[in-house]
Structure 1
Amino acid sequence: MIMEQHIKSKCKAAYAQLYNIGKVRKYLDHQSAEKLIHALVHSHIDYSNALLIGLPKYLIQKLQMVQNTAARVLCRIGKYDHITSTLKSLHWLPVGFRFKY
């Protein structure tokens, strides 16, 4: 199995779930939205973590962008706002460290 195709399909599925969550986000409180994102989006990011160790940086960056978008949807922050502080406040590890953890 080619990992680039695997990551592409996982990112596509995660973005589809984020799109759906984004449509109903205004009706959800923070805790409910966070549970949805953990269940529907992080499951795609964390799928087969052991196989993703040692991948090229550009492939890991694709998964990191999914996680960044999930944090933006959850916290309702803009596209061009800094995301690092938001990830720290949510206690979410960057994708590269999630593999090793």
Structure 2
Amino acid sequence: MPSLSNINIKIGDAEVIPSATIRNLGVVFDATMNMSNHITSICKTVNFLLWNLSRIRRFVTEDASSNAMRALVLSKIDYANAFCLDVEAKTLLSLTKTTKPCCPHYLPSSTPHSSSPLLNSLHWLPIDQRICFKVLLYIYKTLNDLAPPYLSDCLTIRVPTREGLRSNQDLTPL
């Protein structure tokens, strides 16, 4: 199989040069589909947002800081994170490290604290659990007719073909 760098495409007099990555609706894809380029892009954006928020933190209330953090930072992390469902833990580690600086924005003092109790009090899930929760939420909404039709069309509900099997009992309501 030829690599992308060896492919030459000419359209008229113009030559089209293949790219190692593509961006579609803000998600960066590459040939290996390991999402590392997308996660790197998110980390850069989140670090920039955190830097800007840290500059104004002393001028706003804790509630305003919390709202800004949710609206700006967490929305960037949560956007299209379902693509990262099967990503290796070491690849997600950079994204997890990026969210650690979110915690000092909520602390009134400058003394170092563990971020875990604060994340629990803010009801923030770790990155891998956020991804899993979002996918499960999509499935729940699809099963309960709360999702748009394009999601409902992707999910097929198993209907047993034979009666009297133990697996048929799984479909009965609790």
* Structure-1-length-normalised TM-score: 0.89
Alpha carbons of structure 1 residues 77 and 87: separation in structure 2 relative to 1, 3 Å: farther
How many Å separate the matches in 2 of 1:17 and 1:25? 12
Report the CA distance between 1:80 and its aligned residue: 5.1
Which of 59, 65, 79 is the equivalent residue of 1:33?
65
1:60 aligns with 2:92: yes
- Cα–Cα, structure 1 residues 79 and 52, in superposed 2: closer, same or farther, change >3 Å? farther
Residues 19-73 of structure 1 show CA distances to partners (whole Å, capped at 9, x for unaligned) of 0000010011011001111111011111212101011111211111222211222
Alpha-carbon spacing, 1:23–1:39, altered in 2? closer, same or farther (3 Å): same
Task: Supply the AA of the counterpart residue of 1:12.
Answer: K
Unaligned runs of 5+ in 1: none
Whether 1:50 aligns to 2:71 is: no
| Greater helix share, structure number | 1
Q: In the alignment, is residue 93 of structure 1 matched against residue 155 of structure 2?
A: no
Structure that is richer in strand per residue: 2
Structure of higher RCO (CA pairs closer than 8 Å, 6+ residues apart): 1
TM-score by length of 2: 0.54
Question: Using the alignment, how far apart are the partners of 1:53 and 1:79 within structure 2?
Answer: 35
For the pair shown, which has the larger CA radius of gyration, 1 or 2? Answer: 2
Q: Which residue of structure 2 lines up, in the alignment, with residue 13 of structure 1? A: 45
Instruction: Kindly report structure 1 stretches of 4+ aligned residues shifted beyond 6 Å.
Output: none
Q: Percentage identity across aligned positions? A: 27
| RMSD, aligned α-carbons | 1.7
* Unmatched tracts of structure 2, length 5 or more: 1-28, 134-174
SS of the counterpart of 1:93? Answer: coil
